[in-house]
Structure 1
Amino acid sequence: MASTSSSSVSEPPTNSEPVPADSVQEIHPGEDEDLAAKPEVLRWWEAVPAVEKVDENVGVPKQPEVYKWWENSAGESTVTVKWKTLEHNGVLFPPPYEPLPSHVKMRYDGKELDLPPAAEEVAGFYAALIESDYTQDAGFNENFFRDWQTVLQKHPPRDGIEVTNLQLCDFRPIFEYFEAEKAKKKAMSAQEKKDMKKAIADLELTYTTCLFDGREEKVGNFRIEPAGLFRGRGEHPKRGCLKYRVQPEDVTINIGGNAPIPVPNVPGKWKEVIHDNTVTWLATWTENVNGNHKYVFLVVGSSLKAQSDMLKFEKARELKASHGHIGRIRTTYDVDLKSTVLADRQRATALCFIDKLGLRVGEEEHDADVDTVSCCSLCCVHVRLEAPNFVVFDIIGEDSIRYYNRVPVEVQVFENIRIFKENKSDEDRLFDYVKKADLNEYLQTEMKGLTATVFRTFNASSTLQRLLDENDLRSANLQEKLNAYNKASHEVAILCNHRRAVPPSRTHAQATEQNKLRSLKYDRMQLRRTLFKVDEKFRGTKEYMDNESDMNDEWTASHEEAMKTGDVENTEGLAEDGEKVSVLRDRIAEIEAAYPALEQERGTDADFKRAKLAEKIQETIGELDEEIKARKLRIIDRKEAMEIALSTSKINYFDPRITIAWCKIRDVPVEKVFSQSLRLKFAWALEVEGDWKF
């Protein structure tokens, strides 16, 4: 879709050249005593340094060396000053909005609506989604229409029509225009697409890196998100709200004092330019929907971010260390659960929830509009007691995903909750004497650098380590090992409440996987029949019994029809290779004739393929059995993970060294569990030994 303008939605809120491979003569010193007397011979071994090997990679640009900060800077990330010099080019704003062609106009109550660019752009945001689930959501529609009407009041239709009812709006002309533009892009030639991609890359090039203490580092999210409609997760109360366009006047830049100040790529001036070397962000602004502060940092694999990650995991590991921090802290809050001082008793109960249940510490006050709740902002209505000792949590957690948990607790914890709720209304805070700042100040007295958020990292990592150690996988295949790892990750994600709404695409993917499994079973069924035809002795063998119980005649008929169609299409495609039309016609006729026989033979032992030797058939069935087993495991694994966001724990809460050590000792390729971006993020952890433990 076209981008946005200042007139649209911008409301507040030195190496030597390598020797060519074909010029190298296969001559080496010592092979010819008179070689030195022949100046015409290229003495390439003298010109090329010994480290330069001439091979098929000659001419390929060298990759920049990885800065192994973990070998050179022990404890450096703990200092207050984060950098000495910092140069960058700011952030990349989306281009101005381009109005739609004059003939493309939405309708209101059957009449064309002449909208100014600012109002038209917002209409376009909604038009692009009219065939999605979002525009079928009453909450989404209500929020969008309210915000759009605010824009319309400032930028009313030029023809004087008053828009008062969303049901009378027809956005389809705009939607159809967008679809046509998409089709044009898809129809572009490969060269045109390549040129367009290059133009975008050239535009972004100067923003992708910065000079950090004189060293080139990659910048992460340097693009300013364009204006649009907020979607959120789950039933977020602000879904459909208008996200305003961010202007230079909204953005604060952090840069070195002697560095040139970047110029915005759109008209405007920075809100502020500061030179704060105690923070690591390059730019910041506040988005208007939820009031969240947005920052531009270095990429996750940068030395600065990686040092911060390692420090976080080391702090969580220190909590578990042999000198007994966690044991002492738990003993202390167990004693304080019975304290005569109400504030101490509340603090101890809150710590128990944060430690044992993995609740986020949260802020002192939750957002009244979004209603996301964490431990410090629990209200009495969020916690229910059930005799004899069950506590039921029912809250809206992070990303507006519901957190429901019914857990048994110690009798003293149960009694404390009862006391805390006495003489309070549903909307009163449960822990009215507990604030996040006070909680963290108390934890600092127990262990230097300890905060309530460290407990989540500690519990997630220690739980993953324990669950992985419990599995004896010495005789397991690769898929069984991966399932064991994912199952452990799944358990930790549940502990941390890393849930998500299941997108329709996931449901479709699951159905596709089931269909592929049945296709494998179909192939196995036909092979079994052929094997029995070759030698009847296999019919009673347990190894070749029927395991296709989920294949009925209806599915089988549909599958065979699809196979026939595919065979015909493949054969027709051979015409492009010059096959004669008559030969193709005969081949297609053979295919058409073969498949009706399958319908007649369905449920019998007829041999529909040429007989193979029994040994070869057995070998093929064995391979299919392994493939069927692996696919079943993948289906189970993915089904269990559909409502759980496993990546959240991997990115933020698991010490990566647990995973890497487990992969090494279990002979599992790291890339099977860590994506390329995670391997880059945790490059510092890749060299850990297989016997490392959290």
Structure 2
Amino acid sequence: MSSSDDDAPLLSANRSTGGARSEKIISKSTDTSMGDEQTENGSLDPGVSVRFGPVGDGDVEMEDAVNGANGHTAGKRRARVSSGKQSYAEPESSEDDKPLNKRRRISTKTKVESDSEEDIPLARKTNGIRLPKASETAIGEESDSDVPIERKLSKQKANIEKRAEKEAKSIRKAEAASSAKKASVTAGKGAVNGKKQKANGVKSEEGAGVKKTTKAIKDEPATPVKKGKGKATPVKEESEEVEGAEEEEEYRWWEDPTKGDGTIKWTTLEHNGVVFPPPYEPLPKNVKMKYDGEPITLEPDAEEVAGFFGGMLNSTHNVENPTFQKNFFEDFRAIIKKTGGAKNQKGEPVDIKVFKKCDFKPIFEYYEMKRLEKKNLSAAEKKAVKAEKDEAEAPYMYCMWDGRKQKVGNFRVEPPGLFRGRGEHPKTGKVKTRVMPEQITINIGKEAQVPAPPEGHRWKEVKHDREGTWLAMWQENINKNYKYVMLAANSDIKGQSDYKKFEKARELKKHIDRIRNDYQKGLKSELMVDRQRATAVYLIDKFALRAGNEKGEDEADTVGCCSLKYENITLRPPNTVIFDFLGKDSIRFYDEVEVDPQVFKNLKIFKKEPKKVGDEVFDRLTTSALNKHLSNYMPGLTAKVFRTYNASYTFATLLKDMKAEGSVGEKVKQYNDANRKVAILCNHKRTVTAGHANQMEKLGDRIKGLRYQKWRVKMMMLDIEPSLKKKKGAAYFELDEDLDKEWIKEHQAFLVEEQKQKIVKKFEKDNEKLAAEGEKEMKPKELDERLLVLKDMQAKFQRENKTGKVEAEGKGQTVEKLENNVAKLEQRIENMSLQAEDKENNKEVALGTSKINYIDPRLTVVFTKKFNVPIEKFFSKTLREKFDWAIKSVDEDWEF
């Protein structure tokens, strides 16, 4: 598609318009002067990261990645976890909240070949993140272990793309033939029969595609269900008739072709509003912040804000951040002034001017004491507190949506506090004010009873917006964003949103060849706007870049493809592009990729003088203009659909070629292999967490502990039957070399301490049970007697270390029982070793991001049914509820 210069998109007011602009028309002299870059390897399959070296012909042979067994990873993309202690006031933020200067550093010694100083990546001009060596991120035990898997997947990605283009043509051809055939049949038979055709082949009495099956209130089937392909079928119809009046029918909305087509989302809506945080409880009179060493009295509103800061003193990466301190102190002073000022012990006014003179430690110590008190409550007391809270919140947890009981998502109004933000957010540290009922708008049905606001208050407004899926909303004071109370992730409405998202990606499958052909042609267009647009679509499709939206001056400086600035892209001949920018959630995106020579050439043109640092690369393109262009291929197509499509189609292709065999654990391994490849191919990466090495060390110690335990069991076999040494051979009973005497003594001490903790915990639990039943608690003497077993353990270990022999433990012990124990330990060792490998392999790959957000969940369901693997191996209970529609709607033959 081409456009005239008049079609060049207008830049929004908050994009830089004062900088240098690209030419409207790319002159032949400009086009020629940039020259076509020639790749060194002769053939090019761009599309995956080459941070650790170019992709060569010898690197494209595919090898399976060694992986783990559980497939359970965090859904949200994370980076390094703070090394500081967890704040009791709020959970410590992950590295998503961490400034860039506190994350990994890139070595500044690396020399970058570039034409000018401006082409040096932003991170190499400053103290950036240190990129790991290839050996640190290589996945699996490969023959050439320093070659990361990214370099081995390039060819496979190119093949998948070719396969997709052929499939798209085939689908369109088949649909055209089918449409023609249906039109012919309808024309021939419709007039003869004089009968109206059934929509989608569904009987009218079933409600236009809505299949009615009974479902118990507690999500348990009302009748036994036959297992097999296709949809679940109740065994006895009589049972349905008897229990139907008492049970709620399961609404299989994904089988209703008419649902969600219009703008009206509901007809009737009833709910009980929102839950407000408890009012502020003033500090005891003896607990005060200090200013210049003197205790200060503040009004409750100001004291509460002082408590926000004092309560999080152990969140060092926040409270020691200069921007955080500056923003907090400005708001703090304003609130002190508004509430009547601060006073000393004599009642004299104190002007709080200098932040460094403020001492919040007394407040911190008080809140820390309260936190420990809460932690030390007995199990019965904690249970009672939780039960009381649950009872109070129960009315707000569900709403009635078109007569169906639906779970509400977050019905709690966010409490006041200090805004943290993500990355280097310019507003971090500002005070989030308490949300009052007068700020909240309620959305509810006209006939429903409006929930009563707290006494003495009123709602801002009550609406009856049937096109909206929100129950309540308000505007927060920091970024002026609107907050909404919505239905829970496992509700019909949320499920429909996910369903539509993946169906849109499936629709893209039909058009991907035309889109790719068009942007390849557009890469050489004479019009700058067309060439910039084609280049942007190429980068979004190949490297999963987000489109990016314009930002205001007071927002975090995050960018996407369309808003990339001059300094965010470095060009290294012949065809390597280095991206370095703050992406979504202020998480730093750094990658080196090989691109098509024409794309490299275009980026040189987009960056050519007089452009400089601060100017936009795609200055004649906006996100809205890009999405408008994409919608010409199919309704609703936007840049973000490419991420979902590429991940789902890649996984679907790998699934078709998969032959999962062996145990459940081995099948899960193969699923994780495919998931990992998708994460790499689609550039779903994360920063290695700060605690990764420590976690791996602990996991290694646990594995060594099991191996030591296995050796002890084998030695017990010798204690019972010494002749086994000849039968099985001396090697069978030898201790592993890495289990040296020093480690064994440390491990034995650990085992003794572990047993002590178990005994103490059991004693406390037994006492709590006695107290709850009104009986007399046991005395400390009972605990001392129970702990005597530890002396026996220590004496036993000392004898074993001295003699090298282990006595058989337990009554009636036999060699056969001990051999079974050895087999069980070996299985545990194998499983834990797989977990360790999986954890190491995934340290820079965000498997959860791919599996939960981008791979169609129905593909995971197909895998479980095709290879007979429990769905629990891949989806937690929460995810099973969220993707209930996917689990129930497909069989093993379904295709993306």
* TM-score above 0.5, yes or no: yes
**Alpha-carbon distance change, 481 to 399 in structure 1, aligned in 2, over 3 angstroms:** farther
For 2:856, the aligned partner's letter is: D
Partner of residue 301 from structure 1, selected from 481, 490, 496 = 490
Query: What is the CA–CA distance in structure 1 between the aligned matches of 2:859 and 2:794, rounded to whole Å?
Result: 57
SS at structure 2 position matched to 1:294: strand
CA contact (8 A) 2:441 2:460 kept: yes
Specify the alignment match of 1:203 in structure 2.
392
Are 2:571 and 2:604, in contact at CA under 8 Å, matched by a contact in 1?
yes
Q: Which residue of 1 aligns with 2:548?
A: 362
User: What's the secondary structure of 2:631's corresponding residue?
Assistant: helix
> Per-residue CA shift, 1:471-507, capped at 9, x if unaligned?
54312x3333334333433444455555556666766
| Greater mean alpha carbon deviation, residues 428-437 or residues 643-652 | 643-652
TM-fit CA distance, 1:177: 1.9
Deviates more, 1:348-357 or 1:121-130: 121-130
Q: Which amino acid aligns with 1:597?
A: R
Q: 2:634 aligns with which of 414, 435, 447?
A: 447
Deviations along 1:376-398, one digit per CA (max 9) or x if unpaired, are 21111111111110111111111
2:562 counterpart SS class: helix
Q: Report the secondary structure of 1:66's partner residue.
A: strand
Structure 1 residues 433-462: Cα deviation after superposition (integer angstroms, max 9, x where no partner): 211222122112111232222111111211
- Listed as ranges, the matches of 1:670-689 within 5 Å are 670-687=871-888, 688-689=890-891
The CA deviation at 1:515 is 2.6
| Alignment partner, residue 175 of structure 2 | none
Partners in 2 of 1:227 and 1:581 — Cα distance? Answer: 45
Counterpart selection for 2:805 from 606, 620, 623: 606
Structure 1 residues 607 and 357 mapped into 2: Cα distance closer, same or farther (>3 Å)? same
Q: 1:256 to 1:189 in 2, by over 3 A?
A: same
In the alignment, what sits opposite 1:126?
309
Which of these residues, 368, 389, 397, is aligned with residue 583 of structure 2? Answer: 397
Residue 438 (str. 1) matches residue 640 (str. 2): no
Q: Distance in 1 between matches of 2:252 and 2:528?
A: 50
Which residue is 1:26 aligned to?
Answer: none
* Aligned mates of 2:290, 2:508 — CA distance in 1: 63
Letter of the 1:689 counterpart? D
Instruction: Report the secondary structure of 1:78's partner residue.
Output: coil
Deviations 1:173-207 (A, max 9, x none): 22222233233334445554444323322332232
SS of residue in 1 equivalent to 2:266: coil
Question: Does the CA-based 8 Å contact 2:717-2:808 persist in structure 1?
Answer: no
* 1:372-419 deviation per Cα after TM superposition (whole angstroms, max 9, x unaligned): 111121111111111110111111111111111100000000001011
Cα deviation, 1:625-661, whole Å, max 9, x if unaligned, reads 2211110111222334455554343443221100111
> Deviations 1:554-596 (Å, cap 9, x if unpaired)?
3221111232345567789899699999997986654443222
Are the structure 2 counterparts of residues 203 and 266 from structure 1 closer, same or farther at C-alpha, using a change threshold of 3 Å? farther
Q: Which residue of 2 aligns with 1:597?
A: 799
Q: Which region of structure 1 is more displaced relative to structure 2, 228-237 or 167-176?
A: 228-237
Contact 1:531 1:538 in 2 (8 A): no
Alignment of 1:255-266 (within 5 A): 255-265=444-454
Alignment partner of 1:559 out of 728, 738, 747: 747
Give the Cα–Cα distance (whole angstroms) in 1 for the partners of residues 284 and 781 of structure 2: 48
The aligned runs of 1:150-549 (5 Å cut-off) are 150-155=334-339, 156-159=341-344, 160-188=349-377, 190=379, 192-265=381-454, 267-321=456-510, 325-365=511-551, 369-423=555-609, 424-475=611-662, 477-494=663-680, 498=684, 509-530=695-716, 534-537=723-726, 548-549=736-737
Stretches of structure 1 lacking an aligned partner (at least 5 in a row)? 4-48, 55-61
Residue 627 (1) aligns with residue 814 (2) = no
Letter aligned with residue 798 of structure 2: P
Q: Is the 8 A contact 2:540 2:561 kept in 1?
A: yes
The answer as to whether partners of 2:684 and 2:846 remain within 8 angstroms in 1 is yes
Amino acid paired to 1:393:
F
Deviation at 1:288, TM superposition (A): 3.1
Q: Structure 1 residues 639, 201: closer, same or farther in 2, change over 3 A?
A: same
Looking at structure 2, the residues matched to 352 and 200 of structure 1 have their Cα atoms a distance apart, in angstroms, of: 52
Distance change (3 Å), C-alpha of 1:494 and 1:587 = closer
SS in 1 for 2:353: coil
Q: 1:336 to 1:486 in 2, by over 3 A?
A: same
What's the CA shift for 1:212? 1.8
RMSD: 3.6
TM-score, normalising length from structure 2? 0.65
- Residues 192-240 of structure 1: CA deviation (Å, up to 9, x unaligned): 4444323322332232222222333221111111111223445545443
Q: How far 1:609 sits from its partner (Å)?
A: 4.1
1:39 is matched with none
Deviation digits for residues 286-345 of structure 1 (CA, Å, limit 9, x no counterpart): 333344332221111221221222122111111114xxx101111111111111111111
Identify which of 263, 274, 283 aligns with 1:80.
263
- Give TM-score, length-normalised by structure 1: 0.82
8 Å CA contact retained: 2:473, 2:483: yes
Counterpart of 1:116 (choices 285, 294, 299) is: 299
Aligned partner letter, 2:360: F
Amino acid paired to 1:275? H
Structure 2: which 5+ residue stretches go unaligned? 1-87, 91-236, 767-777
The aligned counterpart of 2:128 is none
Q: 2:676–2:845: 8 Å Cα contact kept in structure 1?
A: yes
Give the Cα separation in 2 of the matches to 1:542 and 1:465: 47
- What one-letter code is carried by the residue in structure 1 that aligns with 2:752? K
CA distance in 2, matches of 1:89, 1:592: 61
Give the % identical residues: 43
Q: How many residues align?
A: 635
